Amino acid sequence: MGIGTWAWGNQLLWGYEESMDSELQECFNLALRNGINLFDTADSYGTGKLNGQSERLLGRFIREFEGPIKSPDDVVIATKFAAYPWRLSTGQFVGACKSSLERLQLGRLGIGQLHWSTANYAPLQERVLWDGLVEMYDKGLVRAVGVSNYGPKQLLKIHGYLASKGVPLNSAQVQFSLLSMGDEQMELKTVCDSLGIRVIAYSPLGLGMLTGKYASSNLPKGPRSVLFRQILPGLGSLLSCLRRIAEKKGKTMSQVAINWCICKGAIPIPGVKTVRHVQENLGALGWRLSPGEISELESAAMAAPKKMIKNVFQTA
């Protein structure tokens, strides 16, 4: 399991304030002390003047960590580089990587990831971005390269292209949870397994809908409430199934939902804002759902009338 840091600097969706930084540092420390060393971020994380804040915080937390970090490589920072329309050259994309390293104050990244594909709207830009990943890898700026929001067809194309340049594709990040387990996600997982690519599952808790903490009469603040209002009313059967299995296992609903991702062979990266979140997420490790429980959960999930909305940047 890893930790997602989308909320670290995002005021609009997650209500970030700089007063939260001390607790976020405690989150980082607790995760690392318990063997979680993968932290996912992006150069676009942080709203307005706080753009890049997630990376800056991670860099600071690594430097101030009071523990046995023998090498910066002991902490795997997986940064996603946005496919902004003005990044039209390989040099500009590599420059984005160097800017991330500067914010993190690191010599190299664990995984450099292309945040989304431009194949649907700017196919000529796509090859430039792929070449940028190749150059990052060849220059030693990243230990590994990955992609995000790629569907199975486009994944096969970039895997083949990178392989022709001698660069292995290590990871594919995709929205993956009991609310995002459609045919495309499962096909992507099959392709990844066949090619030796690890699937990193973002939003493993469906933005919080699978935690059991919300209801139609108790919605989160901000833009998430619009989505929750559409989907939550149809999740009665799935949430009841999660609750029943959680009670039987002595776990929470969140821990069961995260463990499902792990049992499917993905690396979930649930987001955290509090120490309590980290403590709860840690409870998803060290055990496994039975095949019967997995089947129960998936049947209940498939019966839900509405699922998570597909990311607009997701390709085929």
Going by C-alpha positions, the residue among 52, 61, 83, 48 that lies closest to residue 3 is 61
* Residues 6 or more apart in contact with residue 149 via CB below 8 angstroms: 115, 116, 117, 173, 174, 175, 311, 313, 314, 315
Q: How far apart are CA 231 and CA 221, in angstroms?
A: 16
For 227-263, b/e burial (b = at least 16 CB within 10 A) is bbeebbeebeebbebbeebbeebebbbbbbbbbbbbb
User: 78: which residues sit within 8 A by CB, 6+ positions away?
Assistant: 2, 38, 39, 40, 41, 109, 110, 111, 113, 146, 171, 173, 200
Query: Is-catalytic flag, 202?
Result: no
Q: How far is CA 185 from the centre of its chain?
A: 14
Nearest to 114 by CA among 74, 154, 76, 153: 154
* % helix, strand, coil for the chain, step of 5: 50, 15, 35
Angstrom distances, CA of residue 104 to CA of 6, 61, 131: 15, 10, 23
Furthest-apart CA atoms within the chain: distance in Å: 54
Of 121, 162, 129, 123, give the one whose Cα is nearest residue 313. Answer: 121
Rounded to 5°, angle at Cα 266 from 98 and 281: 85
Q: Which residues are catalytic?
A: 45
